[in-house]
A and B are shown apart, each in its own frame.
Chain A
Amino acid sequence: MASDTGVPIDAHFTHCYDDFVLDVDLALPAKGVTVLYGQSGSGKTTLLRCLAGLVHAPGGVLSVDGEQWQGDELFVPTHKRPIGYVFQEPSLFEHLTVEGNLNYAQKRVDLADPSDSVLSSNEVIELLGIENLMQRKPNQLSGGEKQRVAIARALFSQPELLLMDEPLASLDTQRKREILPYLEKLRLELKIPIVYVTHSIDELSRLADWVVVLDQGRVVANGSLADVLTALDSPMQLDDAGVVLETTIRSREAQWALMRVSFIGGELLLADNGRAEGETLRVRVDARDISLTLSQHTDTSILNALPATVIEISACPSQDAVLVKLGLGHQSIAALDESKVIDEQSEASRDSSEMLLSRITRRSAEHLALAVGSQVWAQIKSVAVLR
């Protein structure tokens, strides 16, 4: 089924235990990071365990890259699935050294063609910076080091699918900051798909290419990062409305210690973080950091103001505020409709990162007489550089 439609991970599970019901029917992309996002109890870990075969949900159907892992009569046990799994707690074998833990994985891999390997042993060890830990026992490692070894161990088993269950949740803020850069490197270096469970909007913003939002065992949103973040009816909007933009560093304004970055739809000035021109930066703009004006202001301290067109307005649950979805650039309503048609025809080809979200008071929206098609200037008060 999966090979026919070109859908790489095709999962259908209905699983009940106690009073919890997991009911999902999902198609996930074959590359990049898919984040399963949701509050605790939303079923995201259970879903991940179903993918790994650690939970056997009777009646479930799962195929990965055209290979059936679970079906009518079929259930491939965990140890026969080509996965790597990183648990929430590092879970190293306490009786083995770091090297022993890595060898445990390596010994059990049977690679017909060594060039099929995801990453070579040395690459993995270097990528995760564990060269100097090899002879230590797990109880001589910090929490962050343990988790890095656990990730390395998962990669040593040459997985075709990497599953990560809140790998940072058991760590304090300091350790999280220590590990996130490694995860970001992984995302860039690995050719295999990663399914990453988290309830942290920060990790989601930094790592996700594709997002599945779960609530009480059901999928409430499933789409690209930009699509899910800018869908006004998405459950993400309650507290954390905002968008993530992939930008490229273009030039520097050295005298002001600023740098100019561009993205589809516009340019931004950011504080210079010393990265080289041409590098990509992922930035997050929170909806509450964008205010709207009807004309372009030049007498303002705001650095970044972009022309935009109102695409959609929705009320926030808090009554006093509204959430405004903006398309960048000043466009006519006709053009908007046109882009919608194109949108429907080729959903995938369109990159929605030219959207912004603005959270303003209902009073302001009324005062500016905002409506779909209104042309405004989005004043961006702050931009968070994610990486």
Chain B
Amino acid sequence: MDENLAAIWLTLRLAATVTLVLLLVGTPIAWWLARTRVWFKGAIAAIVALPLVLPPTVLGFYLLLTMGPNGPIGALTQSLGIGLLPFTFWGLVIASCFYSLPFVVQPLQNAFEGIGERPFEVAATLRAGPWDRFASVALPLAKPGFITAAILGFAHTVGEFGVVLMIGGNIPGVTRVVSVQLYDHVEALDYGQAHWLSGALLLFSFVVLFSLYTFNRRASSSVGPRV
């Protein structure tokens, strides 16, 4: 039971960290994707969306290589004195960021695109410079998109399995998240524990999706772009 709670706590910590990082990183990416007209926009959009279709194990495999002792990121972290990232909490965070990136970027991008050009033109005629326009128009008008992105990014990170297994292994309290813990229970034929954990995840997923849909219906009936 303690192990289950440790796994849940680790999972929540991981998901919260990843969500925070992704909102910070994903916002400029989504903003750029929503506004740019450069020819390679499609390529960037495809790369961001890759984790949607790629088996998580493939992503985990490549990340393991790049963050490993012979990979470029591994070389960098070692030279910085951080050591190697695989099989650490922060290794998991980075891997999960890649994995959940599209779930944060796409709602944000849709939200930014849904604002259209007009509010920014209005703001410009009211003396708002580019940064001012972003802060005073884009952010508040994209608020429903931010809420959706945060919920999806968080929930999707909670549910990951393949990437965690590849990059984090199964270290209690460090990388053993709920989904891996569940796998262990089943392998050990400990169905009682497995039921407990599965039921908790099922309830969690339902609550998340339910609140998301409720919120979206409210948001689209009042103001803001629909996502």
Binding site for B on A (CB under 8 A): 52-54, 77-80, 83-85, 87, 89, 91, 93-95, 104-105, 108-109, 137, 139, 153-154, 157
In the complex, A19 Cα to B110 Cα: how many Å? 31
In the complex, A52 Cα to B125 Cα: how many Å? 8
* Residues of A contacting B224 in the complex (Cβ-Cβ under 8 angstroms): 94-95
Partner of A79, one of B118, B129, B140, B141: B129
In the complex, A53 Cα to B141 Cα: how many Å? 24
9 pairs of A and B residues whose beta carbons are closest in the complex: A85-B125, A78-B124, A108-B127, A94-B223, A95-B140, A105-B126, A79-B124, A91-B122, A79-B127
Partner of A139, one of B126, B127, B222: B222
Partner of B118, one of A77, A89, A95, A109: A89
* Residues of B contacting A78 in the complex (Cβ-Cβ under 8 angstroms): 121, 124-125
Binary per-residue interface labels of chain B (110-131) against chain A in the complex, 1 for a CB within 8 Å, 0 otherwise: 0000000011011111111100
A77-B124, A79-B128 known; A91+B136 contact, CB < 8 A:
no
- Name the residue on B nearest A93 (C-beta): B119
In the complex, A105 Cα to B143 Cα: how many Å? 22
Binary per-residue interface labels of chain B (77-99) against chain A in the complex, 1 for a CB within 8 Å, 0 otherwise: 00000000000000000000000
Binary per-residue interface labels of chain B (2-17) against chain A in the complex, 1 for a CB within 8 Å, 0 otherwise: 0000000000000000
Beta-carbon contact of A95 and B126 below 8 Å: no
In the complex, A91 Cα to B125 Cα: how many Å? 12
Beta-carbon contact of B124 and A91 below 8 Å: no
In the complex, A202 Cα to B143 Cα: how many Å? 42
In the complex, A73 Cα to B124 Cα: how many Å? 21
Beta-carbon contact of B128 and A108 below 8 Å: yes
Beta-carbon contact of B223 and A54 below 8 Å: no
In the complex, A77 Cα to B124 Cα: how many Å? 8
* Residues of A contacting B223 in the complex (Cβ-Cβ under 8 angstroms): 94-95, 137, 139
A95-B223, A104-B136, A157-B127 known; A54+B121 contact, CB < 8 A:
yes
Name the distance in Å between A179's Cβ and chain B's nearest Cβ. Answer: 19
* Residues of B contacting A95 in the complex (Cβ-Cβ under 8 angstroms): 140-141, 143, 223-224
- Name the residue on B nearest A81 (C-beta): B125
* Residues of A contacting B45 in the complex (Cβ-Cβ under 8 angstroms): none
In the complex, A154 Cα to B127 Cα: how many Å? 11
In the complex, A157 Cα to B122 Cα: how many Å? 12
* Residues of A contacting B227 in the complex (Cβ-Cβ under 8 angstroms): none
